[in-house]
Amino acid sequence: MDKILKLYINEMFKLSRKASTIILLVLMIIGCFLLPLFIKVNQQLFLDNGSSFYEESSSLEQQKKASENRIAEIENEITALEGSADADMQIYSLQMEMVSAKAEIEKIDLMLENNITGNKKDGFVYDAVGYIPVLRGFLADLATVSEEDRDADWEAKNALYEEGIALAYSSVETKDFKAFIDFEQRYYQTNPYGTFNEAILQQLIEQTDPWYRLDPSGGTDGKHDYNDIWAVIYTLTEMKYELDSGVTTEQTMSSTRYTALSPKREAELKDRIAVLEYRIGNNSLVLASESPLWNLAKSYSAGLGQFLINILLLVIAGSAISQEIATGSIKSLIIAPVRRWKIFTAKLLSLFTTGVIAVVILCIFSNIGASVFMGTDAMVPYVYVSGDTVHSMPYWLYDLLNLFAGNISTIVYCTFAFILSIITRNTALSVGVSIATLFSTGIAVQFLDSMPFPHQLWMDFLPFMNFDLAGDLFPFSSLMEPLDSIMTSYGMTIIRPTLQFSIIYLIVLLFCMLYIGFDSFTRKDIK
């Protein structure tokens, strides 16, 4: 072991002095740190900030003009119908349409007066104002009911709808989200659309109550995006509905398929619901609008870092043996009383150590760069379920482990390059073939995922189909990303081998490659 340790230290010393190693590590550090600054300075290139108020107000003015024109048309149509036989229903329908058009103008005027355009700053107020045309229509419909035909709820409905219109106006000033939630719950109890039941009310309560806990301002204080909160709440209620109904929805390119909930899917839903409720209760959500630049910076930095790590390790692995054979330096080790397997082990350990150091550097500087220029709000703990209990993991530990899991492919490619270096004894060939294999993997995965045929068993034995261990090891990481991203994958199924299969497969694959390389290195003559 003493010989192996000395050889290992010698290999690490040689690697630390190589110009390629130093250059690539320095590039990674600088790139990971400064990329967030570039994204921050050029944020307009990365974010769609939407239309200006001038553009939005112009659109509202156009809508107002269209409603005014429609009112004039309706007046002419009513005048033409007056005195006609059997025209009462037509006139009534036109009168209701006029009420709606006038209410739409009322809403637009209120929006223009208060600079309400539906942007992030408006929050729930935009929805509150949107009730005006709806409630004006219901009030007009109630007004047509004669006194003798009015039911017991008529006065209560009339008062509630008037309250809703008043609330729309007052919300502009008071920003009272609690009052709006209370109104919505009572509004749906009036059964305005004829579809009310206790389940709907319960679902509404399950949506609005945590909504208020997440953001008591209803998106008006600038800290949270109202639509993002909605995405969180909607995702949670949809998962609960799927669990309660026992039916899962699978969306394909051409159709929607409903199937019975499998035990695996049921367990997954229970865990995801528990994690999301924990995050809501502990205010540890990462919302799409709150840290879009942070997420971009982190992903770009991590992507650049992983690319440079791959190049660094492939260059080192591809030249580990072949270069020393070409220069003749390997002979000094063999001539010395050092067994070849010890040389092989020391070089392999130094290669993996360099990879570990590089990943740690990547983790540190990608997070430092994103934090310095974007803040630390998105650095929330990783929450997971183990043994029916919700646990949390510090963000830094999670990110480091996630990066290691995401670099499993690098281990395979580097081992491949290392073995090629031994077998071919040609540095250029070893590095070139390994890099070509690395870049072709992504194309192959996309190609197979796009194929119309179903998953085939033989696909599980393709190496690159077993590289995505991070998704299986950290199944709740998507809940750390912007939560509206859940919606993009909800109900979609991409089949991958199981975690157990992938681990066993990779161990066997690495063992086979290392055995071939070891056998070649220890048996083949070195000239």
**Distance in angstroms between the alpha carbons of the first and the last residue of the chain:** 27
Q: Which of 255, 281, 307 is the last residue of a domain?
A: 281
Q: Are residues 177 and 233 in the same domain?
A: yes
Assess if residue 288 is contained within a domain.
no
Q: Are residues 242 and 377 in the same domain?
A: no
Q: Are residues 505 and 485 in the same domain?
A: yes
- What are the backbone angles phi and psi of residue 451, rounded to the nearest 5°? -70, 140
Kindly report the CA angle at 202 between 197 and 208, in degrees rounded to 5? Answer: 125
Q: Which of 281, 304, 323 is the last residue of a domain?
A: 281
Q: Are residues 223 and 314 in the same domain?
A: no
What separation in angstroms does the CA of 394 have from each of 156, 251, 367, 400, 431? 52, 35, 14, 10, 37
Q: Are residues 266 and 307 in the same domain?
A: no
Assess if residue 115 is contained within a domain.
yes
Q: Which of 281, 315, 340 is the last residue of a domain?
A: 281
Q: Are residues 23 and 112 in the same domain?
A: no
Query: According to DSSP H, which parts of 320-426 are helical?
Result: 322-327, 330-335, 340-374, 395-406, 408-424
CA distance 267 to 88: 59
Assess if residue 411 is contained within a domain.
yes
Other CB atoms within 10 A of residue 414 CB: 28
Assess if residue 69 is contained within a domain.
yes
Assess if residue 237 is contained within a domain.
yes
Assess if residue 289 is contained within a domain.
no
Instruction: Please tell me the total count of domains within the chain.
Output: 2
CA distance 411 to 417: 10
Q: Are residues 464 and 439 in the same domain?
A: yes
Q: What is the pTM of this model?
A: 0.75
CA distance 295 to 289: 10
Assess if residue 489 is contained within a domain.
yes
Other CB atoms within 10 A of residue 246 CB: 10
Q: Collapsing DSSP states into helix, strand and coil, what is residue 35? A: helix
Q: Are residues 229 and 266 in the same domain?
A: yes
Other CB atoms within 10 A of residue 96 CB: 15
Q: Are residues 414 and 301 in the same domain?
A: yes
Q: Which range marks the domain in which residue 477 is found? A: 2-46+296-523
Assess if residue 414 is contained within a domain.
yes
Q: For the chain, what is the radius of gyration of the CA atoms?
A: 32
Closest-CA residue to 180 (of 133, 126, 141, 121): 126
Q: Are residues 249 and 374 in the same domain?
A: no
Per-residue pLDDT of the chain (527 residues; tens, 9 = 90+): 677 888 888 888 888 888 888 998 999 999 988 888 888 887 766 655 444 444 455 788 888 999 999 999 999 988 888 877 778 888 889 989 999 999 999 999 999 999 888 777 888 999 999 999 999 999 998 998 888 888 888 999 999 999 999 999 999 999 999 999 999 888 887 777 665 566 666 777 777 777 888 888 888 887 777 888 888 888 888 888 888 888 887 665 566 777 888 888 888 889 988 988 888 888 777 776 656 677 778 888 888 888 899 999 998 888 877 777 666 666 565 555 667 788 888 889 999 999 999 999 999 998 898 888 888 777 888 898 988 889 999 999 999 999 999 888 889 999 999 999 888 888 888 889 988 888 887 777 777 766 666 666 777 788 888 888 888 888 888 666 555 444 333 333 456 788 889 999 999 999 999 999 888 888 766 55
CA distance 242 to 491: 11
